[in-house]
Amino acid sequence: MPESLFLRNEILRAHLKRLLSAGQTPARQEPRQQQRWGTALESLRRGSTEPLDVVVTLNEINDQHGTGPLLKRILKGRRNVVSVRSRDHWGGHDFGDWSLKISQEGRTRPECFRSVLQVLGGNQVRSVLCVPFLPDEVMTAVAISEAFGARLCAYVMDDQNVAAQGIPDLIMKEFLEKSCLRLATHHELRLAYEQKYGLPFHILPAVVPAHLIPTEPMEPRETFPPMRGALLGSFWDQSWFDRLCSALEDSRYAIDWYGNARSPWLNFPRERLARAGITPHGVIPEERLATVLRQYPFVIVPGGALDEREQCTGVASLSLPGRILFAAATSNTPILLVGSRHTCGARFVSHFGLGETVPYDAQALNKAMDRISQQGPQDELRRNAAGMARLFSDEGVPEWLIVSIERGHPADTRFEDAFAAYPNPSAAAEY
């Protein structure tokens, strides 16, 4: 890709900054943001001697939600990374050489350009990787890409445009058309966006740390803790939590929850957890989690019911919980997905033979927990999980991503091959 005029001509650079700075600057934009950005802002304004790679996300990148660990994994070893987020929801940020918060809410297009130029104007930007969830991230990513001639990569992890309405079509269309590489975490999400926008997408799954994948299939324990299972992952809808608690209240099983029991949007009352026999353990390091999960006969992963009580339609219908891949690959533990058989998670579990899908129903869930805990199903499901584990390893993925963005297409077909025999959902009617 030829170097842009903006990068080559310092006169044009200075002129563009003056044009965008002309006129009245909204009060909320200048002094307060400068104070919040602090030394990071001043460091970037002075300029880096090397090109920057920018990562744009909704929230802070940390281990309290799924986006954080995955981005750390696929960007491992990258230098001169600027992490830009739109919102603070999860407390703390631990990624990137520079970390900034830029909200574009209510801003015009020139104001969006001004907001990024105020921080990055003295630098060269090589690439922008954007995980879109709100219009803010899309607008920031496009502004950086356009202003600096940087290669733009769209990485869609959760739908906010096809089944959900978080990002308007016009903004998403421009963003996708200007991206040199468009990625989705799984087959159905890729298909939905290709059908809507007529642009090619490729797959980069929620890859699993290679060093945590056993070299040999994990044999089931001769004795598991009596009547005990694990719950893994996040609840994206209050109804998922409420329904699972109701289904577990009369169960003989105790459940250990490894996930974030604090949410900016949902309530997890302790008394409700206690009645359901759920003990929250919080988010624990992945090395420990992989070992801990091996002691359970099954892992429960909550999903969407896809009925009239569903609030997060996009997440429910078009998301594949990354913790399914993690549990299956690192511990080979059978998966019990609770929700609709028409979700992406249910199709993934079924296709690779990793477990079962059951509705939010006490009788169905209890029978499934009994059935999956038996020796025969344990042996078969664990063998299947061991067989698919290496397909979703993160080995070489940071280098794969760099080359893929440079070329504008995947460096190899490893992830396309992993989904090669995957069944297609029934077109747009699914969404």
* Token pair 């099954």: residue: 298
**Over its length of 431 residues, how does the chain's per-residue pLDDT go in tens digits?**
444 444 444 444 454 555 555 443 332 333 344 444 455 666 676 666 789 999 999 877 776 666 888 999 999 989 999 999 987 766 666 677 888 888 888 899 999 999 899 888 889 999 999 999 999 999 999 999 999 999 999 999 999 999 888 999 999 999 999 999 999 999 999 999 999 999 999 999 999 999 999 988 777 666 677 799 999 988 888 999 999 999 999 899 999 999 988 877 789 999 999 999 999 999 999 999 999 999 999 999 999 998 888 777 767 889 899 999 999 999 999 999 999 999 999 999 999 999 999 999 999 999 999 999 999 999 999 999 999 999 999 999 999 999 999 999 999 999 999 999 888 875 434 54
- Token representation of residue 383: 């063998």
* Token pair 């939905």: residue: 192
Give the N- to C-terminal CA distance of the chain in Å, as an integer.
36
Residues 6+ apart with CB under 8 A from 425: 188, 191, 342, 347
The answer to whether residues 148 and 178 touch, using CB atoms and an 8 Å cutoff, is: no
- CB-count burial class (<10 Å; 0-12, 13-18, 19+) for 234: buried
- Token representation of residue 356: 């079962």
- Token representation of residue 422: 């995957």
The answer to whether residues 415 and 400 touch, using CB atoms and an 8 Å cutoff, is: no
What pLDDT is recorded for position 314?
67
* φ and ψ of 257, to 5 deg: -100, 120
* Token pair 């079509």: residue: 169
**Alpha-carbon span 186 to 349, nearest angstrom:** 13
Residues 6+ apart with CB under 8 A from 81: 52, 53, 54, 55, 75, 95, 96, 97, 98
What pLDDT is recorded for position 274?
96
Distance of alpha carbon 48 from the chain centroid: 29
The answer to whether residues 277 and 313 touch, using CB atoms and an 8 Å cutoff, is: no
The torsion of the CA quartet 105, 203, 194, 347, rounded to 10 degrees, works out to -100
**Alpha-carbon span 411 to 74, nearest angstrom:** 14
pTM: 0.88
The rounded radius of gyration (Å) of the Cα atoms in the chain is 23
Which run of H or of E encompasses 129? strand 125-130
* Token pair 């520079």: residue: 98
**Alpha-carbon span 162 to 160, nearest angstrom:** 6
**All domains in the chain, ordered by first residue:** 5-203 (3.40.50.11930), 210-391 (3.40.50.2000)
